Structures are given as C-alpha cells and as structure tokens.
C-alpha cells in the first residue's frame, strides 16, 4: 500500500486513526496493539507472504536483545555477534545472493543459476533498525523490553518501508507516554499539513519531472547518442526527481506519525543547500548517515588512528553505504565517489584551517554550494544508470565529448537572440531534443525551490515537527501557524495533490 494512493488516504488511514484513538480511551495497551496490527496489515497489503518474515525477524531480535540485556550466561558479546550475523545473512540472502552468484560466474567461469528473489519491502530498514537496537542493548542503553512496544517500534507503518532508520531510545519512550494516546488537535493540524505538503512534492513535483529523466537514461541502450544539453538536462531532472521524491516521502512519514502523537526523527533537511559534501551527508538520509557513522565508521576506528586510517574508514563506510542501496556495481561506484568526495573535503578543510583562517564570503559560500551540487549530480548519474556503461556514456556527454549543439527547432523560436547566439559560434543542429523547454522550466523552478525556499521543517519549526531538527532552522518566512490563510493553503495543496494521483508510482527508496 502506498502513501500516495486513494485506498490509503480514504480507506486505511481514517480507519486506523479513529480506531486508535477510540480504543485508546479504554486501553493504551490495546491501542498500541491495534496500531501494530494495522502496521502488519499495511505491510501485508504488498505481499502477505512476507508478514511472517517481518514477524520472525522481530521475534528473533527481541529475544536476542532480551538475552543480551539480561546478561544470559554472561555471553553478551557472543550473542550480539551471532544475532548481527544472522540479520546480515537474512539481508544478504534476499538482497545480495544473485549479485554474488553473477560476479562469481563472471570471475570464476562457473555457471551457477541465479534465483528469482522478490526483495521484501523495507528489509534494509527494519534490519538496520534492529541491529542498532542490539548494539544499544549490548552497550546498556536499552532499559525497556515491552514486547508490544518493541513490535510496534519495528513494524510502525509510517517508517516501515523507506525509513527513517529508528533508534529504540527515541521511539520506545513515546509509545509508553500517556499523552501519545490522547487526541490532540495540534497534532492533527500539524500532521495533516506536513503529510499533504509531502504528497504534493511526490505526485506533482517528483512524478512531474520524472518523465523527462527516464528517456535520457534509456538513450544509450536505445543506441541514441546524447548531446551535452540532453545529458545535463536528464541528470538534473533525475536529481530533482529524487530530491522531491525522498523529501516528499520523509514529510509524509513525519506527518502520518504526528497524527498518532509520535514524533519521528528528521531524515531530510535541504541537502542541496549544503556548502560541502560533509554537510550534504548531514542533511541527506540523516538517520542512515548516523547509523553508518555510529555502527560502522566509529567501530572501524573513525578518526582516532591517524589521517590515512581515517580516510580508509570513510571510503569503506561509503562503499558499504552504496552497496546498502542496491546489489549492483553502480551503487558501489556511487558510494566510492562519495567516499572520495569526503576525503577531498576533509583534506580541503585541513588546508583551510591551517593556511586561511578567514570566514568565506557570501560569494565563496554560493560557489561552494554550486560545486557541491554539481558533484552530487554527477554521482547521481552513476546511481541512476542501469549499468556502468550507461553511466559512462552519460558522463561522456556531460563533459562535452559529444558536442554542444542546441536543437535547431529552438532557433526560430528565439528570433534575434538565436541569431546572436549563432553569430557567437553556438551551433544549432537536428538533435534528438530529449530535453525541451518543459524540462528546462522544471529545472529552473526546482533550482529556485531547493536553493531559496524554506523546507517543511523550517516552516513548521514552532511546532516541533520532528526530532533532531538542526538549530537555526527558523526561516522567518512562511512560518506555519493555525490560521485561516494556512488552512486554505493546506486544503488547496491537498486537493491538487489528490487530483494528481492518476496512476500509482512507488517512491524511489522503496527499492532499497
């Protein structure tokens, strides 16, 4: 079941909402159980066969955590190691088995058969969530072992399919808080507003721009040679499609959870405004970045063993982070690119701190944002491409190796300006014109939004929309408040979004 579907908005959500608060008037435990059951139904709507897998994973990790936390036979480290390995085996079986077999066949010349696996939705997220729980338990950070709350923590439908990656210490206390089970008008208004902002981002912005990116990335396979304009246009369209898709999902998850009195951690915070790659990863998929830092980078040694080891740890972390996104060499290469970007960024910061102590001017900060954004877009090409050959063809065109020609159909439309460009040496020719005026309009509007407009959390900052919102997020512009003007704006946003739901389109992060 998708958040951006009529059956969810008009069927599942109202039933679960009214049922939750109706039951909570008599029993908080039964209300939590109702929400757990609804979450399992939500997951089973996609494929009921995997509900057993989700429940089995939950039972196994709860049991392992209970034994670790209660010092069973004083073998906590052994129990933790076995439990983590078991989780990774499960994840690897569904997500990486065919990838391993295909590469083994290629390298060793074997002819092993691959299997027809269906990747269980959200397996990466509920696996990582529970690995964090096990490690926190081992470190003595877990104090509560309420089984109903734990099951709800793992299966909670607003986060189950595509995150955020939750931490036990952030969520379990909220499920135990009596105020969570009392209906609150502020939660209703804040939650619905955030949800419909996210829905608008998905069905209007992300799905609207997606139709321009697909043909460009399919061009190489179809034997079409891309021009400089087409390649950059397609890359930028995908960058904005992914931005609005993931931002929209993150908003919708936060808004849905707020309806039930539960505040999720922030997972997305205007990453394209980042002045460097380090800041980008603090603002893009924030909970995954925190997980990789706390449970992989720091255990590898972090920055405690010298600069060479630090850079190696960064590279390993990002390579594995790329592989987490998918079983393919394009994802590994994408992770490696970002690992290299981070190493360069840390090196630049060391030089800056050592030889240039002045704060950067606004011009330099703007240039830093532009350079960071372009580096991210280049990496997204590798992330999106079906294979490395397609990625290489895209990047070749983006460097101008296929020429800089503009579509000749633009020349008569531009009149005197077109003639002036021709006189300056700009070449117009009969190109495939995969990127036209409509795509360029989308790109321009998207740039203005992601660079100049406040994000959802900034607009809602006075009502604590999410956990871990960075300081200084008050934009002093478009601040949300319960007023008639915002009510009208929210209703318009909701109506337009619902009208744009014509055919269902999954969120991009569902495949991870």
Per the CB < 8 A criterion, the answer to whether 297 and 354 are in contact is: no
Q: In the 8-state DSSP scheme, what is residue 425?
A: T
Tens of pLDDT, residues 310-330: 999 999 999 999 999 988 899
**Residue 473: what pLDDT?**
61
Q: What is the mean pLDDT of the chain?
A: 89
Domain boundary assignment for the chain:
6-183, 188-275+360-511
- Lowest-pLDDT choice from 3-12, 157-166, 187-196, 401-410: 401-410
Taking residues 17-26, what's their average pLDDT? 96
All residues at 6 or more sequence positions from 421 whose CB lies less than 8 Å from its CB, including other chains: 406, 414, 428
Q: How confident is the model at residue 354 (pLDDT cuts 50, 70, 90)?
A: confident
pLDDT over threshold 80, residue 503: no
Q: Identify whether 462 is preceded by a cis peptide bond (ω within 30 of 0).
A: no
| The predicted structure's pLDDT at residue 29 | 94
pLDDT in tens, 78-101: 999 999 999 999 999 888 888 888
pLDDT surpasses 80 at 73: no
Lowest-pLDDT range of 44-48, 210-214, 279-283, 349-353? 349-353
Q: Residue 150 pLDDT > 80, yes or no?
A: yes
Nearest to 83 by CA among 133, 123, 121: 133
* Per-residue pLDDT at 115: 73
What tokens appear for 210 in the block?
A: 């997606």
pLDDT at site 390: 94
> H helices of 356-507, where?
362-384, 388-398, 410-414, 416-423, 437-452, 456-459, 484-499
The pLDDT value given to residue 268 = 94
The arithmetic mean of pLDDT across residues 123-130, rounded, is 91
Six-digit token string for 315? 């590279």
**What are the structure tokens assigned to 156, written together?**
């909670």
State phi, psi for 57 to the nearest 5 degrees: -60, -40
Average pLDDT over residues 100-114: 80
pTM of the model: 0.92
Angle between helices 28-46 and 147-155 (to 10 degrees): 30
Nearest Cα to Cα of residue 294 among 171, 131, 442: 131
CA–CA separation, 277 and 338 (whole Å): 8
Model pLDDT for residues 367-415, shown as the tens digit of each residue:
999 999 999 999 999 999 999 999 999 999 999 888 777 777 777 777 7
Average pLDDT over residues 192-207: 95
pLDDT at 507: 83
CB atoms closer than 10 angstroms to residue 146: 15
Is 325 catalytic? The answer is yes
Q: Has residue 305 got a pLDDT over 90? A: no
Q: Where is average pLDDT lowest: 4-8, 119-123, 336-340, 430-434? A: 430-434
Looking at residue 476, its pLDDT comes to 64
Q: Which residue has the higher pLDDT, 419 or 139?
A: 139
For residue 115, which phi and psi values (nearest 5 degrees)? Answer: -105, 160
Q: Looking at residues 305-313, what average pLDDT do you find?
A: 89
Lowest mean pLDDT across 20-24, 341-345, 401-405: 401-405
Token readout for 97 is 């088995």
What's phi and psi for 259, nearest 5 deg?
-60, -30
Grouping H, G, I as helix, E, B as strand and the rest as coil, residue 467 is: strand
d(CA 484, CA 367): 40
Q: What is the mean pLDDT of residues 53-72?
A: 92
* Percent of the chain clearing pLDDT 90 (strictly above): 60
Report the distance separating Cα 58 and Cα 76, nearest Å: 19
Cβ atoms 127, 94 nearer than 8 A: no
Query: Of 159, 168, 220, 325, which is the active-site residue?
Result: 325
Q: Which string of DSSP letters, residue by residue, matches 84-146? A: HHHHHHHHHHHHTHHHHHHHHHHHH---PPPP---PPTTHHHHHHHHHHHHHHHHTT------
């Amino acid at each position: 079941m998708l958040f951006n579907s009529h059956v969810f908005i008009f069927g599942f959500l109202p039933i679960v909402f009214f049922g939750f608060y109706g039951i909570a008037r008599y029993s908080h435990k039964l209300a939590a159980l109702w929400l757990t059951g609804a979450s399992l139904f939500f997951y089973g709507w996609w494929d009921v066969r995997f509900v057993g897998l989700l429940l089995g994973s939950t039972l196994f990790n709860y049991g392992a955590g209970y034994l670790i936390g209660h010092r069973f036979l004083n073998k906590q480290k052994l129990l933790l190691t076995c439990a983590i390995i078991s989780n990774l085996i499960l994840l690897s079986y569904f997500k990486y088995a065919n990838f391993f077999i295909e590469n083994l066949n290629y390298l060793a010349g074997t002819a092993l058969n691959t299997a027809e696996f269906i990747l269980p939705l959200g397996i990466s997220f509920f696996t990582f969530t529970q690995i964090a729980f096990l490690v926190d338990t081992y470190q003595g950070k877990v104090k509560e072992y309420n089984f109903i709350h734990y099951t709800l923590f793992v299966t909670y439908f607003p986060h189950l399919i595509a995150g955020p990656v939750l931490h036990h210490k952030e969520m379990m206390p909220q499920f135990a808080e009596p105020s969570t089970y009392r209906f609150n008008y502020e939660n209703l208004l804040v939650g619905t507003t955030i949800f419909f902002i996210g829905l608008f981002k998905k069905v209007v912005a992300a799905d609207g721009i997606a139709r321009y990116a697909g043909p460009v990335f399919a061009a190489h396979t179809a034997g079409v040679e891309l021009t400089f304009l087409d390649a950059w246009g397609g890359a930028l369209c995908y960058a904005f499609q992914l931005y609005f898709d993931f931002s929209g999902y993150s908003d919708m998850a936060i808004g849905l959870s707020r309806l039930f009195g539960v505040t999720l951690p922030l997972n997305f915070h205007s990453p394209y405004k980042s002045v460097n790659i380090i800041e980008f990863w603090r603002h893009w998929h924030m909970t995954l970045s925190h997980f990789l830092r706390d449970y992989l980078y720091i255990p590898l040694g972090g920055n405690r063993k010298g600069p060479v080891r630090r850079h190696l740890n960064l590279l390993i972390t990002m390579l594995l982070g790329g592989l987490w996104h998918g079983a393919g060499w394009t994802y590994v290469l994408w992770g490696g690119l970002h690992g290299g970007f981070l190493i360069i960024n840390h090196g630049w910061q060391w030089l800056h701190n050592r030889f240039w102590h002045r704060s950067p001017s606004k011009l330099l900060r703007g240039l830093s944002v532009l350079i960071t954004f372009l580096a991210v877009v280049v990496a997204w090409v590798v992330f999106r491409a079906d294979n490395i050959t397609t990625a290489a063809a895209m990047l070749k065109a983006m460097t101008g190796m296929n020429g800089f020609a503009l579509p000749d159909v633009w020349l008569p439309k531009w009149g005197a300006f077109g003639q002036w460009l021709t006189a300056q040496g700009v070449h117009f020719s009969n190109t495939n014109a995969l990127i036209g005026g409509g795509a360029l309009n989308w790109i321009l509007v998207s740039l203005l939004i992601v660079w100049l407009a406040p994000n959802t959390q900034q607009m809602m900052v006075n009502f604590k929309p999410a956990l871990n919102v960075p300081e200084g997020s008050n934009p002093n512009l478009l601040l949300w408040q319960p007023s008639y003007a915002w009510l009208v704006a929210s209703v318009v946003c909701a109506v337009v979004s619902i009208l744009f739901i014509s055919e269902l389109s999954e969120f991009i992060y569902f495949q991870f």
